[in-house]
Amino acid sequence: MANARITVHTAADIDRIAPEVHGHFSEHLGRCVYEGLWTSDSSEENGFREDVVELLSDLEIPVLRWPGGCFADDYHWEDGVGPQEERPRRRNLFWAQGPEDLPEESNAFGTDEFLQLCERIDTEPYLAANVGSGTPQEAANWVEYCNYDGDTELADRRRDNGHEEPYGVKYWGLGNENWGCGGQMSPEQYAREYRRYATYVGTQSNLMFDHDIELIACGFEGHEWNRRFLEEINQSRWGVEFPLDHLTLHHYYGRGMNVDEADEDQYDRMLVEALEMERHIERMAGAINAVATTRDIGVIIDEWGTWHPEATADNGLEQPGTVLDALSAAAVLDVFNHHSDVLTMTNIAQTVNVLQCLIETDEDEAWARPTYRVFDLYAPHKGSEAVQTSVDTPTRELDDDEDSELPLVGASASVDDDETYVTVTNLDCREEKTIEVALEGVDLDSATIEGELLFADQEPDLEVDADNADEFAAEELDVSVDSDTLIAELPASTVAGISIQ
């Protein structure tokens, strides 16, 4: 008998899954940029770490956010362009980082290095401009430096710095967590700042640039903050023409769970916290629907993932990479698929070495974490049409909260031309599950069915390192067919991807 039954309603479209939903985030924090993405080792081409570049290229990441995080609202982009030996060394107000572990920024990695990295790995850049301690002028100049093809001092400066053509940066964030590290602003105060910045950064873009730019405002997890922000934005005399394309929020979870000491009850709790993502997305979409009815504003989650007590400012927010973290990422990616009608981008924090990074490095090597494997397994969903799935699953009540329960099996599905792709996660860290997948309207007799399984042989708290990283790679999943239903066994804490063509 099946433990969970999943029905894929192949004709019930939700929306296209924006590829950008599989996006990433990198900040000048700890060993993310310095040592992670970039090295001063002159044997590497342009300072990029080739091993990391290769892993990122293989994953075909659609978008990369930079330079922060909190760092963004104290970053002055002109410090990081031009000859490296002339760039000023500055404080890093928020984070220790780099080889010397100091709260200082060498500015060796700046705009041109970042944008050339994006070109190397074929990803769309997303730049976060400084609203907290910067000026609208500085932000508008940054857009001009990056994107203008005309005859101005800033466009020429970019050419002198080695990039003849405009970079064509499409995504521009105006601030980060401006209710907190980005200036401690009220929603109304931030909305007024946003309007001031967007006036100079966004409204002239049609005249100056050959391509569209999209502006991203910082929101909050709570409905009220977003509602007040949007109401103040609506006071713009330009009305709906006023540039505001996306609103963001951040969701971290697992802060109460030390990876090395946690038990299975805490695993359940952390997974429930991860699934709260659903409520956050719905609340933000609700605020947009209620207040900004005539605008088309996408929801972005531009920081998300686990943040365990092991990750402190002192250690550059480093924490172990485990199957459990990867399971939570799978559960959240399913949530994202269910909300493809409102989500325009997400960025897991952070790409290399920091928090729920996908890649970890030491001096000599770089390796994929279990979360990297999940993104790889979910890659066929990118750009496909998400369809409704119903999941009939057992649940477990949390040991310390009888009002919360964990659905032990999660799933999502998408359809693209002739392929239906279904991802299924056994979130139960204690027991295996037999799952049945019924696909409405799909003739399984003539279909080619292929399944892959992650983490069948690993305990949920097993920590990845350079020596065991390959053991987390996907293996074949045995899928049998019983008339219109697929059947598979999912061991405890595993993730499966099933392709039906």
CA distance 381 to 387: 11
For residue 424, give the H/E element and its range.
Answer: strand 419-426
Looking at the Cβ atoms of 357 and 415, the one nearer to ligand AHR is 357
Span of 156-164, 225-233, 334-342, 347-355 interacting with ligand AHR by CB under 6 A: 347-355
Per DSSP, 220 falls in state -
Backbone angles phi, psi at 264, to 5 degrees: -65, -30
Q: In what order do the strands lie in the sheet with 494-500?
A: 475-476, 449-454, 494-500, 419-426, 409-416, 385-392, 4-16, 433-439, 485-490, 480-482
**Amino acid occupying residue 466:** A
Examine residue 138 and tell whether it contacts ligand AHR (CB under 6 A).
no
Examine residue 474 and tell whether it contacts ligand AHR (CB under 6 A).
no
Burial class (CB in 10 A: 0-12, 13-18, 19+), 45: exposed
Q: What torsion, rounded to 10 degrees, do the Cα atoms 271, 272, 277, 278 define?
A: 120
Span of 68-76, 135-143, 320-328, 371-379 interacting with ligand AHR by CB under 6 A: 68-76
The alpha carbon dihedral of 279, 285, 291, 297 has a sign of positive
Nearest approach, Cβ of residue 298 and ligand AHR (Å): 19
Examine residue 349 and tell whether it contacts ligand AHR (CB under 6 A).
yes
Examine residue 73 and tell whether it contacts ligand AHR (CB under 6 A).
no
Cβ 247 vs Cβ 297: under 8 Å: yes
Examine residue 306 and tell whether it contacts ligand AHR (CB under 6 A).
no
Examine residue 69 and tell whether it contacts ligand AHR (CB under 6 A).
yes
Active site residue 303: yes
- In a 13 Å sphere around the CA of 159, the CA atoms on its Cβ side amount to 11
Examine residue 325 and tell whether it contacts ligand AHR (CB under 6 A).
no
Please identify which residue in 19, 23, 30, 68 interacts with ligand AHR, judged by CB under 6 A: 68
Nearest approach, Cβ of residue 228 and ligand AHR (Å): 20
Please identify which residue in 10, 39, 176, 353 interacts with ligand AHR, judged by CB under 6 A: 176
Question: Which residue's beta carbon is nearest to the bound ligand AHR?
Answer: 69
Cβ 171 vs Cβ 124: under 8 Å: yes
Examine residue 305 and tell whether it contacts ligand AHR (CB under 6 A).
no
Burial class (CB in 10 A: 0-12, 13-18, 19+), 340: buried
Looking at the Cβ atoms of 174 and 492, the one nearer to ligand AHR is 174
Span of 12-20, 65-73, 322-330, 331-339 interacting with ligand AHR by CB under 6 A: 65-73
Backbone angles phi, psi at 24, to 5 degrees: -135, 170
Examine residue 27 and tell whether it contacts ligand AHR (CB under 6 A).
yes
Active site residue 232: no
CA distance 375 to 372: 5
Which is the catalytic residue, given 20, 27, 35, 303? 303
Please identify which residue in 20, 112, 177, 232 interacts with ligand AHR, judged by CB under 6 A: 177
Looking at the Cβ atoms of 95 and 209, the one nearer to ligand AHR is 95
SS3 160: helix
Looking at the Cβ atoms of 27 and 273, the one nearer to ligand AHR is 27
Nearest one of 127, 243, 250 to 181, comparing CA atoms: 250
Span of 100-108, 152-160, 349-357, 422-430 interacting with ligand AHR by CB under 6 A: 349-357
Looking at the Cβ atoms of 167 and 197, the one nearer to ligand AHR is 197
Please identify which residue in 18, 52, 63, 70 interacts with ligand AHR, judged by CB under 6 A: 70
Task: Give the DSSP per-residue string, 164-179.
Answer: -S-----EEEE-SSTT
Examine residue 136 and tell whether it contacts ligand AHR (CB under 6 A).
no
Supply the angle between the helices 187-201 and 223-233 in degrees, to the nearest 10: 50
Span of 62-70, 113-121, 138-146, 492-500 interacting with ligand AHR by CB under 6 A: 62-70
Cβ 437 vs Cβ 410: under 8 Å: no
Which is the catalytic residue, given 105, 113, 124, 177? 177
Site residue total, ligand AHR (CB under 6 A)? 11
Nearest approach, Cβ of residue 70 and ligand AHR (Å): 4
Cβ 98 vs Cβ 35: under 8 Å: yes
Active site residues per annotation:
177, 303
The residue ranges that bind ligand AHR (CB under 6 A) are 27, 68-70, 176-177, 250, 303, 349-350, 355
